[in-house]
Amino acid sequence: MTLSYHLQVVNLLAALLLLISFAMLSQRRIVGLITLFAWQGAALATSTAIVAWSTGQHHLYWSAALTLALKVIAMPWFFFRLVRKLDVEREVETMINIPTTMLIGIALVIFSFNLALPISQMSGTVTRSTLGIAMACVLLAFLMMITRRKAITQVLGFLSMENGLFFAATSASYGMPLVVEMGVALDVLVGVFVLGIFFFQIRETFDSLDLKHMEKLKER
Amino acid sequence: MEIYWVLGIPLFGGLFLALSGNRSNAPEINALFSFLTLVAAAVLTVRIVAEGPMMAGDSWFFIDSFNVFLVALTAFVAFTTSLFSRPYMRIEKEHGRLNDKRLRLYHSSYQIFIGAMLLALTTNNMGILWVSMEAATLATVLLVSLYRTPASLEAAWKYFILCGVGIAQALFGTILLYFAAEKVLGAGGNALLWTHLNAVKDQLEPTVLQLAFVFLLVGYGTKVGLAPLHNWLPDAHAEGPTPVSAVLSGLLLNVALYAVMRSKVLVDGALGNNMAGGLMMGFGLLSVVVAAFLIKRQTDVKRMFAYSSIEHMGLVTFAFGMGGPVASFAGLLHMTMHSLTKSAIFFAVGHATQSAGTQLMDGIRGLIRTNPTIGWGLMLGTLAILGMPPFGVFASEFLIITTAMHEHPWATPFLLTALGVAFASIFGKVQPMVFGETELPRLPHQPALTPVFMHLGLVLMLGLFIPPYLADWYRQAAALLGG
């Protein structure tokens, strides 16, 4: 009985995750996007912790703690500092067509639910029904990376994709082996710092973080 | 035991050079660390050849003929590249394109990059394989943008984002693999160990593995540079410093293909058909054709040879996709030949662009007069990579094409046309660079051409005569690939 109660909370959080993905897709302000990214991490960490508690998979606590430390606290803090230092706090993206993006997003959700159906039938986890949502989050993050023109927003899309993948791992097989999760988290952390350096280089050279300056290398 | 040295030396080297890399002899220290890695790799190789496959460190590492061959190749090319980069980077510094701080970053990242690739090759865990592939990418992002020119920043950004997205697909593939494995092997760290998976591969759920392989192939295939996922590759190769182009092209692409092959062995076992091979043949053939026709349009010499790398990796992927003992043997041989030849070409091209002051082929003329050794190195390297006998590339390409004629005759016209187009365009462009009229100055420093001729000598030797123990070794490795 308690299991189904927990399950409902996990399902609620999964729905929240999907909602945040859509919100990120439509958010034009960079600062707002970082906040949403932190909330997405928080939803992910909470749902992982609840799955850990209700199924007795103790290594998932570590995974939840990692998500909380990195994606809710460290990275948003780092990004807020970065936008302040780069002085792009008030920047908005004007190029995106939100209604069309949303419609494509809905199509992607339907597609990923269909794709996930055969796999989740094979899965033995109690959380298998959320696999479709996890895949939808991955694809929506991908869509965000395609539609955005700014360096920081593309990276946030990339990290949000990572969130979706972690959620997929949790719902399909109660996460990956701990050492792999640690390794992935380390890579993501190093990657964000490398990009931090990189943003300053871009900014120094182009005087802006807009990727429209970076379309010179093409096949002619 | 040797395995810890192989992995420990480059990682320690990376740390050491990061902390104290400002000294003027940092290039020599870099070469020294690479040399020590090579010695450790050689000892490991001798042991594997004598004693057969082994596990180390509580089945964390698994080394058999297939990966030890790549470990040896990686350590060797890493060492010769570090020799080449010594005078090359000094000249770059004199030209004012680099300073001490960036050289420190370069040396440290170089060692970490080599260490990450060696970890990817030796680990037994498919998850750690993913982690180290991503680490190898991260180590080279800042190297591609080392010159801080607008074009190099754009190239590095493209490299990071495209490979990042690609490798995220591979992570999803790994998750699916774990999902299938966990049902058979139980949850926990053991379920991603390749040796364990290989033992039970016929019990893994075929539909899940099929999906997993598609994601793994797309993910790691992005790093191999398979068309249509190759966009990052020419930019990263052309805009980064030449030693980085040499190791990216000669080593990183191989390691990514290694990851695909490890997955293919598992999927073949689970499916019992050649779905994985068919996909690899398709991607491989497409890469060969697309790259050959793009080579024709290039004006930048490093970009042209980057496309040539895509072409050759496509050929190797195609060979592995065909499967069978001969094709796998040819694929492994071609991998070796391509690594050695292409890095030699990049060494020669690096010095040629330094003396001409441009990467545009129109600006590089008459190398044979001003810098005869560079000219000959570039000419011989080009002939070798184009598959002229008696170089080794001829032998491997010949084997691949004859096998294709025999087993998949429909593919032969595509392969032959593409190789012909690539030959005509590359030869036509390199010829005036070497033999044309010129007033270019000589280089201020003695160029490091020992590595070029060392590599070409090896390629020539392997083309004329493959020592029996080496052939045996390749055959063993080919058998592991399901040949």
What's the first-to-final CA gap in chain A, in angstroms?
64
Please give the mean pLDDT across all residues of chain A. 86
Which two structure tokens, joined as six digits, stand for B117?
């690739």
**Mean pLDDT calculated for residue range A54-67:** 88
Q: Would you say residue A126 lies in a domain?
A: yes
* Chain-chain contact of A205 with B149 (C-beta, under 8 angstroms): yes
Region of B392 please: left (phi>0), alpha (psi -120 to 50) or beta: alpha
Residue B274 to residue B323: CA distance in whole angstroms:
9
Q: Minimal Cα distance from A204: which residue of B? A: B148
Contact B157 A214 (CB under 8 A): yes
pLDDT-based confidence at residue B70 (cuts at 50, 70, 90): very high
CA distance B157 to chain A (A): 8
Q: Which domain holds residue A201?
A: 5-213
Q: Is A7 on the interface with B (CB under 8 A)?
A: no
What confidence tens digit (pLDDT) does each residue in B91-142 have? Answer: 899 888 888 889 999 999 999 999 999 999 999 999 999 999 999 999 999 8
- Closest partner CB to A183 (pick from B128, B182, B207): B128
Residue type, A119: I
Tokens of B467: 């020592």
pLDDT over 70 at A220, yes or no: no
Write b or e for each residue in B376-391: b if 16 or more Cβ atoms lie within 10 A of its Cβ, otherwise e: bbbbbbbbbbbbeeeb
Among residues B220, B97, B240, the alpha carbon closest in space to that of B163 is found at B220
pLDDT of residue A126 exceeding 80:
no
**Token pair of B272 as six digits:** 């019992």
Contact A158 B148 (CB under 8 A): no
Structural domain total, chain A: 1
Cβ <8 Å between B189 and A145: no
**CB contact B11 to A (< 8 Å):** no
CA–CA separation, B351 and B375 (whole Å): 10
Taking contacts as CB-CB distances below 8 angstroms, the residues of chain B near A140 are none
Token pair of A63 as six digits:
């995974």
Could you tell me the CA-to-CA distances from B41 to A148, B16, B59, B109 in Å, in that order? Answer: 45, 20, 19, 20
Q: Which of B17-26, B70-79, B314-323, B414-423 bottoms out in mean pLDDT, i.e. has the lowest?
A: B17-26
Res A1 pLDDT > 50: no
Q: What percent of chain B has pLDDT over 90?
A: 69
According to DSSP, the residues that pair with B61 across neighbouring strands are: B56, B123
- Residue in B341, B335, B344, B369 with CA at minimum distance from that of residue B355: B369
Average pLDDT over residues B192-219: 91
CB contact under 8 A, A119 and B149: no
A66 touches chain B (CB under 8 A): no
Q: What is the pLDDT of residues A81-104, one digit of tens each?
A: 988 888 887 777 766 788 888 999
Q: Which two tokens stand for residue A191?
A: 């990657």
DSSP assignment of chain A: -HHHHHHHHHHHHHHHHHHHHHHHHH--BHHHHHHHHHHHHHHHHHHHHHHHHHHT-THHHHHHHHHIIIIIIIHHHHHHHHHHHHT-TT-B--S--HHHHHHHHHHHHHHHHHHHHHHHHH--STTGGGHHHHHHHHHHHHHHHHH--BHHHHHHHHHHHHHHHHHHHHHHHSS--HHHHHHHHHHHHHHHHHHHHHHHHHHHHHSS-BGGG-------
Given a cut of 70, is residue B350 above it in pLDDT? yes
Q: pLDDT-based confidence at B309, cuts 50/70/90?
A: very high
Answer yes or no: do A174 and B187 touch at CB < 8 A: yes
- Contact assessment for residue A177 and residue B191, using Cβ atoms and an 8 Å cutoff: yes
d(CA B261, CA B246): 23
Residue A30 forms part of a structural domain:
yes
Comparing C-alpha atoms, which of B175, B179, B181 is closest to residue B200?
A: B181
pLDDT tens digits along B403-452 = 999 999 999 999 999 999 999 999 999 999 999 887 767 766 677 788 99
The whole-angstrom distance between A202's CA and the closest CA on chain B is: 7
Q: What pTM does this model have?
A: 0.93
How many CA within 13 A on the CB side of residue B327? 23
Give chain A positions within 8 Å (CB) of B191: 177
CB contacts, 8 Å: B235 with chain A: 217
Cis, bond preceding B390 (omega within 30 deg of 0) = yes
Q: pLDDT tens digits for B225-237?
A: 998 899 999 999 9
Mean pLDDT (whole number) for B60-69: 91
Closest residue in A to B144 (Cα) is A198
In this predicted structure, the answer to whether residue B459 has a pLDDT above a threshold of 50 is yes
Task: Give the sign of the dihedral formed by CA A143, CA A144, CA A145, CA A147.
Answer: positive
* Mean pLDDT, all residues of chain B: 91
- A184 at B interface, C-beta within 8 A: yes
Q: Which residue of A has its CA nearest to B168?
A: A162
Residue A153: both structure tokens together: 């927003």
More reliable by pLDDT, B384 or B473: B384
By CA distance, what is A155's nearest residue in B?
A: B161
Distance from CA of B100 to the nearest CA of A (A): 17
Arithmetic mean of pLDDT, B212-232: 93
Closest-CA distance, B53 to chain A, in angstroms, reads: 24
Measured between alpha carbons, how far is B186 from B200 in angstroms, rounded to an integer?
12
Is the Cβ pair A194, B138 closer than 8 Å? yes
pLDDT tens digit sequence for A170-213: 888 888 888 888 888 889 899 988 888 888 888 888 887 777 77
Name the residue among B142, B160, B175 with its Cβ closest to that of A165: B175
CB B188 to CB A177 under 8 A? yes
Mean pLDDT of B20-41: 91
Q: What is the pLDDT of residue A129?
A: 79
pLDDT digits (tens, 9 = 90+) for B248-277: 999 999 999 999 999 999 999 898 888 999
Give the gap in angstroms from C-alpha B81 to the nearest C-alpha of chain A.
24
Which one of A187, A216, A218 makes the best mutation probe of the B interface by having the most chain B beta carbons within 10 Å? A187
> Helix, strand or coil for residue B193?
strand
The C-alpha torsion from A170 through A171 and A174 to A179, rounded to 10°, is -30
Note whether B164 contacts A191, CB cutoff 8 Å.
yes
Q: What pLDDT does residue A77 have?
A: 94
Q: Is residue A220 part of a domain?
A: no
Q: CA-CA distance, B200 to B445, in Å (whole number)?
A: 58
Say yes or no: B390 contacts chain A, CB-CB below 8 A: no
DSSP lists the bridge partners of residue B123 as B61
Interface check for B471 against chain A (CB to CB < 8 A): the answer is: no
Residue A3 clears pLDDT 70, i.e. is over it = no
How far is B286 from B34, CA to CA, in rounded Å?
A: 36
For residue A95, what pLDDT is reported? 65
Residues linked to residue B55 through DSSP beta bridges, in sequence order: B62
* A218 occurs within a structural domain: no
Which residues does B291 contact at the CB level (< 8 Å), separation at least 6? B227, B230, B307, B308, B310, B311, B314, B418, B422
Relative to beta strand B54-56, strand B61-63 is antiparallel
Is A67 contained in some domain?
Answer: yes
CA distance A140 to B43: 49
Is the CB of A118 inside 8 Å of chain B's CB atoms? yes
A9 occurs within a structural domain:
yes
Does any CB of chain B come closer than 8 Å to the CB of residue A68? no
Chain A: nearest CA to B130, how far in angstroms? 8
The larger pLDDT score, comparing residue B119 to residue B208, is at B119
Q: Is B157 on the interface with A (CB under 8 A)?
A: yes
Rounded to 5°, angle at Cα B480 from B479 and B483: 40
Q: Tell me, yes or no, whether A136 lies in a domain.
A: yes
How far is Cα B106 from Cα B192, in angstroms, rounded to an integer? 34
pLDDT at B26 over 60: yes
Kindly report the nearest CA distance between residue A25 and chain B, in angstroms: 17
A146 touches chain B (CB under 8 A): no
Contact residues, chain A, for B145 at CB < 8 Å:
198, 201
The phi and psi torsions of A210 (rounded to 5 degrees) equal: -80, 130
Question: Contact B142/A173, CB-based, under 8 Å?
Answer: no
DSSP output for B62-119: EE-HHHHHHHHHHHHHHHHHHHHHHHHHHHHHHTTS--HHHHHHHHHHHHHHHHHHHH
**A206: contact with B, CB 8 A cutoff:** yes
Cβ–Cβ contact A67 with B under 8 A: no
Chain A residues lying within 8 Å of B182, measured CB to CB: 173
CB contacts of B155 in chain A (<8 Å) are 217
pLDDT of residue A108: 94
B125: burial class by Cβ within 10 Å (0-12, 13-18, 19+)? buried
In contact, B219 and B231? CB cutoff 8 Å: no
Q: How far is B357 from chain A (nearest CA, A)?
A: 20
